[in-house]
Amino acid sequence: MTMTTYWKVTAGNPDPAIVAEAAVVLQQGGVVAFPTETVYGLGADARQTEAVQQIFTAKGRPSDNPLIVHIANRSQLEELTLPPDEAVSRLLDAFWPGPLTVVLPARPGVLSPLVTAGLSTVGLRMPDHPVALQLIAAAGCPVAAPSANRSGRPSPTHAEHVLEDLTGRIDAIVDGGPTGVGLESTVVEYAAAGPEEASGRGVLHILRPGGITAAQLREALPGVEVRESSAHAEPAAAPRSPGMKYTHYAPRGVMTLVQGDAPERVLARIQRELDAARARGERTGALTFREHADALRADRVVACGSLGDLESVAQGLYAALREFDEAGISFILAETCPEEGIGAAIMNRLRKAAGDRVIEA
């Protein structure tokens, strides 16, 4: 077991002395959990293989799952990657700092091979959070940082979630309060046009939906084709981005999604399944929205935001999934939401949390 140091800071104006102490931990090869605008990250110096290995050990993360590297300023790009295409530079102008990760060709020999999982590329982002930016800048190194949770568990949006999963497994936690977006960053990779493409334009592939929507990407890159990955496709080879290959974000109970065109039929099907599960001795849970919370009966009904405000659903999703664990729920049914805007990212996380178990109402 490791002695885990815990610091609490004000998110908008963190104590420089605490930031400096946490930065020293990173410089000395330790691992530190810290807040970003998406979820809490578990950081280590991306150049030190022994430090990065501690991330995989603490999380129980598969070694073929690459890590996203966080930087504090654009100048660090030149040290870590080959020069980006003009289209990628436009994306960075539009969305950095922010919840966008861009996969780029990595400079050989700079980063630990554990970060890239043996690939020739690396995912980079600049978080939009004062604590994260000041910590990375103070450490003076690129920081590899997946979400600060045990692998497969719901990602942490509060420091309490990190404490629950990783106390005694990591060196330090910087508590900056709840995160904002609530879901991980959007991951994209740009493929320049080849000579066989008559359009002369490249393609932007969304490898993982997240805090930046497909519509926002298309607006930032007019004329560039933006391709969204299939909701159910899983790559046969090594994943090029976190969140592509493995079951993630799951509560301990078995969760199934219930979808349909008519809300009343969806709610009726959920209630029938809940009643049957309770009759066979399960502790039951329902993940729904504020509009429908009063229509369902279960051992724990969790209203996760509003259907009229999907950003609120994203913000509360992971905390809602953890509520079922706290209540010892073994059987969970979840409503789905429209896959528009950030709804695409919400449904991506729900499908993975449910292991792609879906029933029709």
Q: Averaged over 44-73, what is the pLDDT?
A: 95
Q: Averaged over 156-172, what is the pLDDT?
A: 97
Residues 70-103 pLDDT 10s: 999 999 999 999 999 999 999 999 999 999 999 9
What's the pTM value of the predicted model, to 2 decimals?
0.93
> Does 231 score more than 80 pLDDT?
no
Alpha carbons 71 and 29: distance in angstroms, whole number: 17
pLDDT of residue 194: 63
Mean pLDDT of the chain: 93
Q: Which residue has the higher pLDDT, 237 or 75?
A: 75
**What confidence category does residue 198 fall into, taking pLDDT thresholds of 50, 70 and 90?**
very low
> Does 1 score more than 80 pLDDT?
no
Tell the residue number behind the tokens 């629950």, with chain if given: 164
Residues 267-310 pLDDT 10s: 999 999 999 999 999 999 999 999 999 999 999 999 999 999 99
Q: Averaged over 209-213, what is the pLDDT?
A: 97
Q: What percent of the chain has pLDDT over 70?
A: 93
Q: Averaged over 11-40, what is the pLDDT?
A: 97
- For residue 279, give Cα distances in angstroms to 55, 272, 276: 42, 11, 5
> Does 332 score more than 50 pLDDT?
yes
pLDDT of residue 116: 95
Alpha carbons 349 and 215: distance in angstroms, whole number: 19
**What confidence category does residue 246 fall into, taking pLDDT thresholds of 50, 70 and 90?**
low
Best CA proximity match to 322, nearest among 3, 40, 7: 40
**What confidence category does residue 2 fall into, taking pLDDT thresholds of 50, 70 and 90?**
confident
> Does 232 score more than 50 pLDDT?
no
Whether the Cβ atoms of residue 319 and residue 161 lie closer than 8 Å to each other:
yes
**What confidence category does residue 242 fall into, taking pLDDT thresholds of 50, 70 and 90?**
low
Q: Averaged over 312-338, what is the pLDDT?
A: 97
Distance of CA 306 to the CA centre of its chain: 21
**What confidence category does residue 233 fall into, taking pLDDT thresholds of 50, 70 and 90?**
very low
Q: What percent of the chain has pLDDT over 90?
A: 88
* Beta bridge partners of residue 81, listed in sequence order: 106
Side-chain-facing half-sphere of 342: CA atoms under 13 Å: 21
> Does 256 score more than 70 pLDDT?
yes
| Degrees, nearest 5: CA angle 201-202-203 | 130
Cα-Cα-Cα-Cα dihedral sign, residues 346, 348, 353, 357: positive
pLDDT of residue 201: 75
Whether the Cβ atoms of residue 337 and residue 307 lie closer than 8 Å to each other:
yes
Tell the residue number behind the tokens 């861009």, with chain if given: 102
pLDDT of residue 236: 43
pLDDT of residue 235: 46
